[in-house]
Amino acid sequence: MATIDPSRFRSTLLSIVRYGFGRTMEQATKVDIFNSVCFAVREHIIDRKIETEKRYADNDVKRMHYISMEFLTGPLLANNLINLGIYDECRTIVNDIGLDFDDLIEFEPDPALGNGGLGRLAACFLDSLASMGMPGFGYGINYDYGLFHQSIIGGYQHERPDFWYNKSSPWLMRMSGEKAMVPVFGRIEDSEDMVGEYNPMWVEWKLIVGRPHDIAVVGYGGKTVNRLRLFSAWASEDFDIQIFNEGDYYRALEDKIRFENISKILYPSDSRDSGKELRLVQEYFLVACAVHDIVSIYLNQHDSFDMFHEKVAIQLNDTHPALTVAELMRVLIDLHFVEWDDAWQITTRTLGYTNHTLMPEALETWPMHIFKKVIPRHLQIIQEIDRRFMSMIKEKYPDDPEKPRRMSIVIDNNGEKNIRMAHLAIVGSHSVNGVAAIHSELVKTRLVPDFYDLWPEKFNNKTNGVTPRRWILRANPLLAQLVCDTIGDGWILDLGRLRELEAHCKETAFLERLLMIKRKNKVRLASIIKETTYIEVDPESIFDIHAKRLHEYKRQLLNAMNIIHIYFQIRDDNIIPSVPRTFIFGGKAAPGYFMAKLVIRFIHGLAEIINKDSKANEWLKVVFIPDYRVSLAEKMIPGADVSEQISTAGMEASGTGNMKFAMNGAITIGTLDGANIEIAGEVGEENIYIFGHKVDEIESLRREHDADRFLNSSPALKRVMDAVRSDIFCPDEPGIFKPLYDSIVHGGDYYCHMADFQSYTDAHSRLANDYMDRHNWAVKSLLNIARTGKFSSDRTIKEYAEEIWKIKSQI
Ligand code: AZC
């Protein structure tokens, strides 16, 4: 671990404020101070970064490159200090100067370069790679605008732009001189045989320049510092010089701006943006910049491509970077004159593809005409890949004439041709993995069974994980301290060791301390709730938290239905609950997702009525905390007694929030979906509340759906649904919640709210009863902490490293 020399740190800090920002300490703004502290910390990081790079180069190590459209890092200062081992020292020094360290930490904006699970997973992976000393790097886009800020006005979500770094962040290091030149647009000049050989026929393309910016990724212990390289798009300098010369200054500038817009915004949807040309250009831009960089690094040390797959692994984070298949082929064939068959070997041996969702609407397909316009050469390569693949399929399955249609990369949909990105990724990779055991099974059996039949050896599972450095050490310092006091600090790099805590599950004093920590975290959360929503909540009540993107399959609406059920029990049935409950929500809805936004409005409708009802509000409160993001998650998760993981079975690929809550001692109420199944397997069925229908039952449920039967057989459900339809929760805007009612009662209830209602409310009552036995609850909580070591992303990364990437720790 590093140490810092206080006087040197202090003088560096003062001189950055003065010579970097031109101010004295008295004049300096908070931004100046924050940036200066980060710059002073950077000194400690950069030496290690340079040393790490040298170590990798000297040993000519195999490197893994993780290409992802999203990296949801969250604030970096605190984590960097923790991983460097200088958090406490730095805190003292900064406070001694008369600054407020904790305030500075809170001041840091969230780099919100991701939507949710997929982007946050990528960030956890980078932390694990560096912490385990592995040569693994991230490639992404340096979006000017990250995920929108959410505010709530009159119960409705409003979006505001997130200009997160305001053109400069102390963590972003512009790496001048390492730019990538990316050809785009243009056309293919007709020629007899254009594929398989050097192809000079892509003409009239334009160039986008990719400028790299590095964010250092500090591993725990500070020995390894890797990098996340983010590219910004620029128009090349001689951009349309001809148009300028022709005197059309405005048109030339317009085009320049159009190009520079490529890295402007993160698309704010967590599922689908296909069809939008700019999104395809973004995906291509990222892939082309990354491949350029990866190939240059390789060629620095090698003069042929013979060793490529032994020195380079590339992981595709979902299909967004699937164009890597075509781009690597193009670079090998067109720029380095490698033969098609050799290039294909190299490509498929290098690439691995991770699938993160089964939802049909999230599976990217692109109209071929957009490809033709944006990347005509890549289209040509993809068509050739497909042609060869199809002839192999026809030869292998002569008796199944439907196979080619089911498996082709290019598909003809009523005259319009589309490119299926998942098929491209599978054909072009040697490994295809899902992100939890059940999900990986469903990928094989339901999503792409033909591919599994063809290449069973390609398919594997890598259950997700989360980094304990951020999600315990940073987010829950009190718990981390208790654990260190009890079993030492070995768990930080070996989370399985939390099992040693089990030995203390009968010690009252230990359990008391655990309960006290939870209480303190709840008090902290209560004050955030007060500040952000003006709602007063009672830390003695159960804090039941549902925090994640708003999506129908995640069923925030089912949660709301249970709240209404409890409310009516108190108000109309005079049933006094066993314990007061606070239902807390957080999450953003995609701006164009009407139903998800309506659910947000609905939750606010419940809050408005219930929190004001004096008969109920002693027992029941509803809160929606706006602008859910990594830094807020760090405060919500440790304050949870109960974690809501209630997706319709078969729809949540894995989930990672579920892991964070459990390792912070919350008890899960959840369906047998995604990683919940594995969490249940680890913690034991008495320490989790499982309810609802299973994956295999969902299809027949949907087929045989009969709303009236549900309503007639359950007065409780009927009462709740009548309330959804009525204006009880929207007295000033009558009728607004009707679409919620209609989707459930008349729309086939695709997400099975009605079918799971009874078992969900039952599970909630069991849970509330159990909560009253404080001792027993503390045991459950402890066992959740002790038994969730499997869900460290270190374990996940170790599996990827050994089974897919073949990379090794260098420490
Ligand atoms: C998410 C999955 O929905 C979630 O279940 C999983 O835990 C996470 O990836 C990480 O694997 N998917 C996404 O965020 N987005 C897409 C396009 O799948």
Strand order in the sheet with 620-624: 620-624, 581-586, 542-547, 642-645, 667-670, 689-690
Residues of the chain with pLDDT under 50: 196-198
Burial class (CB in 10 A: 0-12, 13-18, 19+), 314: buried
Residue 506 among the catalytic residues: no
For ligand 1, what atom is nearest to the CA of residue 356?
18
Residue 668 among the catalytic residues: no
Burial class (CB in 10 A: 0-12, 13-18, 19+), 457: exposed
Tell me which of 549, 551, 621, 693 is the catalytic residue. 549
Going from the Cα of 122 to the center of ligand 1, the distance in angstroms, rounded, reads 11
Tell me which of 12, 52, 324, 656 is the catalytic residue. 656
Any ligand 1 atom below 6 A from CB of 356: yes
For ligand 1, what atom is nearest to the CA of residue 119?
14
Going from the Cα of 667 to the center of ligand 1, the distance in angstroms, rounded, reads 22
Any ligand 1 atom below 6 A from CB of 673: no
For ligand 1, what atom is nearest to the CA of residue 439?
5
Going from the Cα of 706 to the center of ligand 1, the distance in angstroms, rounded, reads 31
Any ligand 1 atom below 6 A from CB of 313: no
Which residue of 356, 443, 549, 671 sits with most ligand 1 atoms within 8 Å of its CB, as the best mutation to test the pocket? Answer: 356
Going from the Cα of 120 to the center of ligand 1, the distance in angstroms, rounded, reads 9
DSSP 8-state symbol, 234: E
Look at residue 81 and give its three-state secondary structure.
Answer: helix
What region, left, alpha or beta, does residue 765 occupy, with left being phi > 0 and alpha being psi -120 to 50 degrees?
A: alpha
What ipTM was assigned to the predicted interfaces of this complex?
A: 0.99
Q: Contact, 774 vs 512, CB < 8 A? A: no
Backbone φ, ψ for residue 486 (5° rounding) = -90, -45
Any ligand 1 atom below 6 A from CB of 269: no
For ligand 1, what atom is nearest to the CA of residue 357?
18
Burial class (CB in 10 A: 0-12, 13-18, 19+), 701: middle
Any ligand 1 atom below 6 A from CB of 650: no
Report how far residue 23's alpha carbon sits from residue 32's, in angstroms, rounded to the nearest whole number.
8
Any ligand 1 atom below 6 A from CB of 434: no
Going from the Cα of 588 to the center of ligand 1, the distance in angstroms, rounded, reads 15
The total of other beta-carbon atoms located within 10 Å of residue 539's CB is 17
In degrees, rounded to 5, the angle at the alpha carbon of residue 207 between the alpha carbons of residues 201 and 209 is 145
Tracing tokens 């990098």 back to the chain, one arrives at 227
Any ligand 1 atom below 6 A from CB of 271: yes
Q: Contact, 140 vs 286, CB < 8 A? A: yes
In degrees, rounded to 5, the angle at the alpha carbon of residue 615 between the alpha carbons of residues 611 and 621 is 30
Q: Which domains does the chain have, with CATH numbers?
A: 60-75+110-143+154-463+798-805 (3.40.50.2000), 468-695+711-722+756-791 (3.40.50.2000)
Going from the Cα of 357 to the center of ligand 1, the distance in angstroms, rounded, reads 6
Going from the Cα of 116 to the center of ligand 1, the distance in angstroms, rounded, reads 7
Any ligand 1 atom below 6 A from CB of 586: no
Report how far residue 465's alpha carbon sits from residue 435's, in angstroms, rounded to the nearest whole number.
9
What residue spans of 619-686 are helical by DSSP H? Answer: 630-636, 657-663, 676-683
Q: Contact, 317 vs 66, CB < 8 A? A: yes
Residue 549 among the catalytic residues: yes
Going from the Cα of 118 to the center of ligand 1, the distance in angstroms, rounded, reads 5
Residue 548 among the catalytic residues: yes
What residue spans of 397-420 are helical by DSSP H? Answer: 403-407
For ligand 1, what atom is nearest to the CA of residue 653?
5
End-to-end CA distance of the chain: 14
Q: What is the pLDDT of residue 165?
A: 76
Q: Contact, 721 vs 744, CB < 8 A? A: yes
Tell me which of 356, 377, 423, 787 is the catalytic residue. 356
Any ligand 1 atom below 6 A from CB of 74: no
Q: Going along 456-525, which residue ranges are E strands?
A: 459-461
Q: What is the pLDDT of residue 196?
A: 44
Report how far residue 254's alpha carbon sits from residue 243's, in angstroms, rounded to the nearest whole number.
11
Residue 520 among the catalytic residues: no
Any ligand 1 atom below 6 A from CB of 121: yes
Any ligand 1 atom below 6 A from CB of 465: no
Q: What is the pLDDT of residue 191?
A: 64
Going from the Cα of 596 to the center of ligand 1, the distance in angstroms, rounded, reads 17
- The residue contributing the CA closest to ligand 1 atom 7 is 655
What residue spans of 197-354 are helical by DSSP H? Answer: 241-245, 249-260, 277-301, 308-311, 324-330, 340-350
Residue 264 among the catalytic residues: no
Tell me which of 213, 548, 601, 621 is the catalytic residue. 548
Q: Distance from CA of residue 780 to its chain's centroid?
A: 28
Look at residue 689 and give its three-state secondary structure.
Answer: strand
Q: What is the pLDDT of residue 362?
A: 77
Q: What is the pLDDT of residue 24?
A: 93
Q: Dmax over Cα atoms in the chain, in whole Å? A: 83
Tell me which of 292, 311, 458, 554 is the catalytic residue. 554
What region, left, alpha or beta, does residue 550 occupy, with left being phi > 0 and alpha being psi -120 to 50 degrees?
A: beta
Going from the Cα of 270 to the center of ligand 1, the distance in angstroms, rounded, reads 8
